[in-house]
Amino acid sequence: MAVKYAKRMDLFKKSELGEILKLIEKPDIISFAGGLPASELFPVEEMKKVAVKVLDENGEEALQYSGSQGYLPLRDHIANRMNTKSKTNVQADDILITSGSQQALDFAGNIFLDEEDIVLCESPSYLGALNAFKNYQPKVIEVPTDEEGMITEELDKILKENNRVKFIYVIPDFQNPTGITWSLERRKKFIEVINKYEIPVIEDNPYGELRYEGEFLPALKSFDTKGLVIYLGTFSKIFCPGYRLGWTCASKDILRKFITCKENSDLQTSTIGQRELSKYIDDYDLDEHVEKIKVTYKKRRDLMLNCMKEEFPEGVSFTHPKGGLFTWVKLPEKLNAQELMEKCVENNVAYVPGGFFFPSGNKENYFRLNYSSCTEEKIVEGIKRLGKVLNEAVSETAEV
């Protein structure tokens, strides 16, 4: 059929990751590949009651169109939570409700990027964001990153040399994919650099509330004196992703652009979904819910890390995330995590090969593991299977 698509569709011709994820749809596979929250912890019974209440009390409004910026009581809740937890000083007016934070990533690309503009990100970075930006055809440059976050001296150098940088995309808390959290000092230095160059920053923070050890750190947004930080939040990981409720918090002029994108894209986020979540926060204790899921996730994290210590061969290292949903595994350089997937699938276990998270490619000796969505039995068995594959691969390379 001679259907003619836009040129940019060529960028999405073949998704290698999609092909890999298809392989792991086998029923017996233990998959550590997704980033799913544990569905058995969703507050199903509570949401049944909330749904009835919303329809009983405000059925007609709940089923009607509503304003593009989002339901005011929900934005109030979000501003209060941000100010308490992330030490910001924001109000409901500074917030736009989006369909998950993923939608805001697309809006960021739409608002800032012309072809060949530059986006800076951590090395590695979140694949979903990189894909959202790709649509706008920027050049993505990875800024060297260590266990304390983005290296600010390197960032400074890159900004000095490149005048087409439109924004910097970062995940300072329990990063996807590495699980790493930026230190307080690094956060402050980072803000100094962006203030010097006046470059907008997308601070993407889906995991910040899921801290299992150590002290909460203030968001970059809390140090933002020039209105440069665009904070993205979401209820996907602390509540339920099915509602598709996220938000953008930004200074007035920038938020106005995001609201325009929202109007043009889908008018508004589901009225009833926003009202249900807001009612849940009124009637129940969201913090208590978050504490409850943290107990399970911490247990699963500890178990996975302990099993990895036991089962993985020498030469394989991994991060010890203080929160969030992922650990990041480094293999000896000779091994290629994407090639090893075939062996993993034969052994009924799966991860996401790390190469996809590096926009400039060429780093294939990493993979990402998720520990939130598998039961303890599956974690033990899955890591055993993975250990077997890795032990064989390491001894094969030793023989060569």
Near ligand PLP by CB under 6 A: residue from 71, 112, 126, 243: 126
Task: List, in sequence order, every beta strand (DSSP E) within the chain.
Answer: 30-31, 95-99, 118-122, 139-143, 145-146, 149-150, 165-170, 201-204, 229-234, 245-249, 317-318, 326-330, 349-350, 352-353, 366-370
What SS3 class is residue 81?
helix
Near ligand PLP by CB under 6 A: residue from 37, 70, 109, 206: 206
Task: Indicate whether 97 belongs to the interface with ligand PLP (CB under 6 A).
Answer: no
- Is it true that the peptide bond before 27 is cis, omega within 30 degrees of 0? no
The whole-angstrom separation of Cα 367 and Cα 63 is: 44
**Nearest residue to 41 via CA among 294, 299, 382:** 294
Task: Indicate whether 204 belongs to the interface with ligand PLP (CB under 6 A).
Answer: yes
Pick between residue 249 and residue 316 the one whose CB is nearest to ligand PLP. Answer: 249
Near ligand PLP by CB under 6 A: residue from 31, 69, 236, 269: 236
Task: Indicate whether 323 belongs to the interface with ligand PLP (CB under 6 A).
Answer: no
Total residues contacting ligand PLP (rule CB under 6 A)? 14
Pick between residue 88 and residue 248 the one whose CB is nearest to ligand PLP. Answer: 248
- Token pair of 216 as six digits: 């909460």
- Token pair of 40 as six digits: 């058995």
Q: Which amino acid is at 391?
A: N
| Binding track, positions 173-202, relative to ligand PLP; x by CB under 6 A | ---x--------------------------
Contact 208, 86 (CB under 8 A): yes
Task: Indicate whether 241 belongs to the interface with ligand PLP (CB under 6 A).
Answer: yes
Task: Indicate whether 208 belongs to the interface with ligand PLP (CB under 6 A).
Answer: no
Near ligand PLP by CB under 6 A: residue from 68, 69, 102, 178: 102
The whole-angstrom separation of Cα 353 and Cα 172 is: 22
Near ligand PLP by CB under 6 A: residue from 149, 246, 355, 387: 246
Pick between residue 24 and residue 171 the one whose CB is nearest to ligand PLP. Answer: 171
Task: Indicate whether 35 belongs to the interface with ligand PLP (CB under 6 A).
Answer: yes
Q: Where does this chain bind ligand PLP (CB under 6 A)? A: 35, 100-102, 126, 128, 171, 176, 204, 206, 234, 236, 241, 246
